[in-house]
A and B are shown apart, each in its own frame.
Chain A
Amino acid sequence: MTEARLIQGNQACAEGALAAGCRFFAGYPITPSSEIAEHLARSLPGAGGTFVQMEDEIASLGAVIGASVGGMKAMTATSGPGFSLMQEHIGYAAMAEVPCVVVDVMRGGPSTGLPTSPSQGDVMQARWGTHGGHPAIVLAPASVAEVFELTVRAFNLAERFHTPVTVVFDEVIGHTRESVVLPDHVDIVDRRRPDGPVEGFLPKAAAADDITPLPAFGDGYRYHLTGLVYDERGFPTTDPTQTGALLERLHRKVDAYSPEIEDAETFMTEDADVIVFAYGIVARAAREAVRLAREEGVRAGLFRPVTLWPFPAKALEAAVGAARTVIAAEMNHGQMIHEVERVAASTAEIVPHLRVDGEPISPAELLAKLRERAAAQTGGRG
């Protein structure tokens, strides 16, 4: 292990990308994510990589997809307004099965919103933002160290499943400096390349595990990639059987592997009466609130999804257990709370704790909420 360093989340993201093997970055300036691009503009060339500043976020993800098709691990980073523009190419990458990583450092919205304030307003967009219905993998780190770790994981998942992977965190995590010890070595995953003959290569022929090989352009396999629905040759088709099979396979690629992909953290949920559901920076505040509540005798716990999508429903169900109340704390108007309700509303009361004023949710306000809900429970409501 190397020594501890004081770095911000955006830098940890850039360093995680480099450690994961990212050698191409295309992006467009936007607060509060620009430090990721700036760091990679300095560090990629020395690592044998390529940096390009594009004309907008649509082009940024387009260039990333082009580079990935050329065999490079590639990433872009943005914030809400740019993330909106990128939806078109997130759909393309999902459809054409091109590995890539998109980082969204969330700021207040909608529209131009609050460029320098934190938010968690993009978490449903990260799942449903592009048209047509597609599988999605979305990771939500809660600390500078975890930004590094999950950026590496994002590349590994993208390369394993040949799909776009989104990392979402907020302005606070992006800009907060924390002392971290980053690992010297990380395990990395590389995409599956074909090993059969070049002649007669069928790029999208049925694969037992649903993951078709992805040769780089220029490596001898000549094939067609398209955002249209395609057949096993990769060529456009409107045949209903092949259309259905493709769409089912694309979804199965994430759904069937969700136990492998899903990740969540629990803190003191075993005997909890009241559980805070929180992710990203809010989970940091929630953890402190839970600790303080416990000191006061409130049986509080924390559930933190690390993968927002696929949503760790089974882990949440298990964590909620006999708890009577789940406080869903988010910096938005209530987005992931719908998933919490879907999973836990039959056994627990789901209480929102939402902030959309550009200020992060504090431990103190969550502690007050925990006290209030605990009091309500002992007050004979149950």
Chain B
Amino acid sequence: MTDVRDYLREWAMPHVLCPGCAHGTILRAFLEAVKRLELDPDKLAMVAGIGCSSRLIGYVDFCTLHATHGRAPAFATGLKLARPDMTVAVVTGDGDGLAIGGNHLIHAARRNVDLTVLLLNNSIYGMTGGQAAPTSPAGSVASTAPAGTAEAPFDACKLLEGAGASFVARVMAVDPIMSTNVMVEALSHRGFSFVEVISDCPEYFGRYNALGSGAEMLAWMARKEAGVAAALANKRYVNHVPTASDTSGLATGVFHREERPVFTGLSTQAAR
């Protein structure tokens, strides 16, 4: 029985993540999915962009490609088309995947390349110091939004479903067992699978918005799933910006799943 720690590059430790950050929990959930599916590490590639989430791939003993900011879906598309024998998973963040890399992400979804994308959403830019992200809730404080951001955030799952992703799901770091289960389904899905993983950033998002420690943020996350986000709204949002009272975007589970032709490059299409 493989121990998921066998998948780690222990020589690469210590890692760069802050105390209380849930990204490590999410990586563990992913490795449990790899283990359950008995994926061959030689045939598993992880591709990432730039940011805290993207740094995760450095710590796993697979074929790991640390690409440029936002471009991991493009690198992964080329890799998967060149190596259809490999399982290719992308790790990205909300800034990496939805701001600078938003176009690459939606086009990878549209093509239905056989990739699994994990988008770790911590509502803020962590690595660069807590700037507002395209997922920062309206009114939430960030270093570049000291009075609260006035922009509306993306709903990543709705965006990806609209873009044509053939598997769309959301899980939360606070529930690693569910996270693993959904990641197993995503990795098993033939086509483009997208899993938004709600993570935390106690160092910036939590501190700027008085949400407490990492543990407190996870508890907050758990309650949000139970539908008590309204109570958080008062704490999260500053007064002068209209708040998004709709909490449906915080639902978890597999939202969309369909079978449709997988893009494997024109060579296969021409042969059909």
Contact = CB atoms under 8 A, between A and B. Distances in A.
* Chains A and B come from one and the same complex: yes
Interface of A: 24, 26, 41, 44-46, 48-52, 54-56, 58-60, 62-72, 74, 88-89, 92, 216-220, 222-228, 233, 235-236
Contacts of B73: 59
A272 B74 CA distance: 52
A217 B65 contact: yes
Given A74-B78, A218-B86, A224-B58, A48 B265 contact: no
A217 B266 contact: no
B233 interface: no
A67 B85 CA distance: 13
B85 A54 contact: no
5 contacts: A59-B107, A62-B71, A70-B79, A71-B83, A72-B82
- Leading 4 A-B pairs by shortest Cβ distance: A66-B78, A70-B82, A62-B74, A63-B78
Nearest to B63: A217
B267 A44 contact: yes
Interface in B43-70: 43, 45, 47, 57-58, 61-68
A80 to B, nearest CB: 21
Given A62-B77, A222-B64, 9 more contacts: A59-B77, A59-B104, A65-B78, A69-B78, A89-B71, A217-B83, A218-B42, A218-B85, A227-B68
Interface string B16-53: 00000000000000000000000001110101000000
B234 interface: no
A50 B82 contact: yes
B81 A228 contact: no
B271 interface: yes
B67 A55 contact: no
B132 interface: no
B158 to A, nearest CB: 20
A55 B107 contact: yes
B154 interface: no
Nearest to B107: A55
Chain B contact-residue range equals 35 or more
B58 A235 contact: yes
A201 to B, nearest CB: 11
B261 to A, nearest CB: 15
B142 interface: no
Contacts of B66: 224-228, 236
Interface in B75-106: 75-83, 85-86, 103-104
A59 B83 contact: no
B226 interface: no
A66 B63 contact: no
Nearest to B87: A218
B104 A55 contact: yes
A64 B265 CA distance: 13
A92 B67 contact: yes
B269 A45 contact: yes
A70 B78 contact: yes
B74 A45 contact: no
A92 B65 CA distance: 11
Given A44-B267, A223-B63, A235-B12, A66 B77 contact: yes
A45 B267 contact: yes
A89 B76 CA distance: 14
Nearest to A53: B266
